[in-house]
Amino acid sequence: MSFLTLESLNKEFGDFTAVRDMNLTIEQGEFISLLGPSGCGKTTTLQMIAGLLPPTRGKILLDGKDITKTPPNKRGLGIVFQSYALFPHMTATENVAFGLEMRGVAKVERMDRARVALDQVKLGQFAHRYPKEMSGGQRQRVALARALVIEPPVLLLDEPLSNLDAKLREEMRIELRLLQQDIGVTTILVTHDQEEALSMSDRIVVMKDGDMAQIAAPLDLYERPLNTFVSDFVGKTNLIKARAAAGSQGQSVVIVDGHADTLTQNLTLALPGEALIEGESVTLSIRPEKFLMSKEGPGHKVEVQASIFMGASWLYRVNSPMGELFVTQPNTGAAGYAKGDTAYLSWPDDAVMLFSEAA
């Protein structure tokens, strides 16, 4: 049974629609991410769930109860915002216990529960520190403990890791996910970072201009995006303009127009799938890591325009019969291709995603 339900949720600011007809059912214990570019309506959605912003239309149900008009403090949800705003004059324990004081919990119990929450986020030994005596990551965890200590039915996180440096952010992703699974709290994370969403979520809701573009589990979303927007926003990809040619049953044939500045003329590709309407504009999407690059072939001849060493992998920009492409190849320890090198590019049929829309 759905634990948290959004029913045709809408938010309008004047004649601008920030969130349009959001329908979502979330299971108990699920970790859901709202992912999308700046301004797509992620924070607005989260604030409606928190009760900080009234919806223009629609309903929010928690555990079968309509909470659309319930004030935020009566919903009892745990919230961590990007700016986690700890009280500077209070220790970690006092910061965490503060929410319990507001709820009228007696002092001894408050301190006990605050200590348990700090242990959960592995900050037991920092209980007596003030915020200015802690690192960004430690402060972030105090904010998390403060949200968890009230044992909320739902944890709402709005870009909670965006203030942290890259390495700490990656560590916190894993810790946060393990903690969430451990205590089983239903969690909604707002992020514009696709890696964060992919690595932490059970399901991801991709949003665009107030609409839901796709809802799927991370691997499905990455491998089977519904449109060019999702394929380009989630992960990196090469979007290639093409036009449909006549194909037989179970086959779509597309022609990629040759580019004057590249090495060959038009390229015809036969792909698995329904025959397309001849002449229709389509878009191909191939992820950079799906290519196989070799010195001798087989494959299409390409010229390396740029070669960038990324540590775990090489990133190349190549000139190909399909135009300019980004290609990543794993670092095997051997030297990579250099600018100006000739190489051969191939790819498995199923690496090509075909969208019947113009790029």
Ligand X SMILES: Nc1ncnc2c1ncn2[C@@H]1O[C@H](COP(=O)(O)OP(=O)(O)OP(=O)(O)O)[C@@H](O)[C@H]1O
Closer CB to Mg ion, 43 or 194, in the complex: 43
Min dist CB 19 to ligand X, Å, is: 7
For Mg ion (CB under 5 A), the number of binding residues is: 1
137 binds, among Mg ion, ligand X, none (CB under 5 to 8 A by kind): none
Residue 43 touches Mg ion, criterion: CB under 5 A: yes
Both tokens of 306, joined, read 């740029």
Min dist CB 6 to ligand X, Å, is: 14
Q: In the window 242-261, what residues touch Mg ion (CB under 5 A)?
A: none
- Judge whether 32 and 188 are in contact, CB under 8 Å: yes
Closer CB to ligand X, 38 or 248, in the complex: 38
Min dist CB 81 to ligand X, Å, is: 11
187 binds, among Mg ion, ligand X, none (CB under 5 to 8 A by kind): none
DSSP designation for 17: E
CA distance 352 to 287: 8
Closer CB to ligand X, 13 or 309, in the complex: 13
β-pair partners for 207:
212
- Amino acid type, 91: T
192 binds, among ligand X, Mg ion, none (CB under 5 to 8 A by kind): ligand X
CA distance 35 to 47: 15
39 binds, among ligand X, Mg ion, none (CB under 5 to 8 A by kind): ligand X
Q: Report the largest interatomic distance among the alpha carbons of the chain, rounded to a whole angstrom.
A: 78
- Residue 131 CB partners (closer than 8 Å, separation 6+): 86, 87, 88, 92, 95, 139, 142
- Judge whether 141 and 123 are in contact, CB under 8 Å: yes
Closer CB to ligand X, 44 or 91, in the complex: 44
- Residue 66 CB partners (closer than 8 Å, separation 6+): 59, 60
Closer CB to ligand X, 81 or 314, in the complex: 81
By the criterion CB under 6 A, which residues form the site for ligand X? 13, 18, 36, 38-44, 192
Binding residues for Mg ion, rule: CB under 5 A, are 43
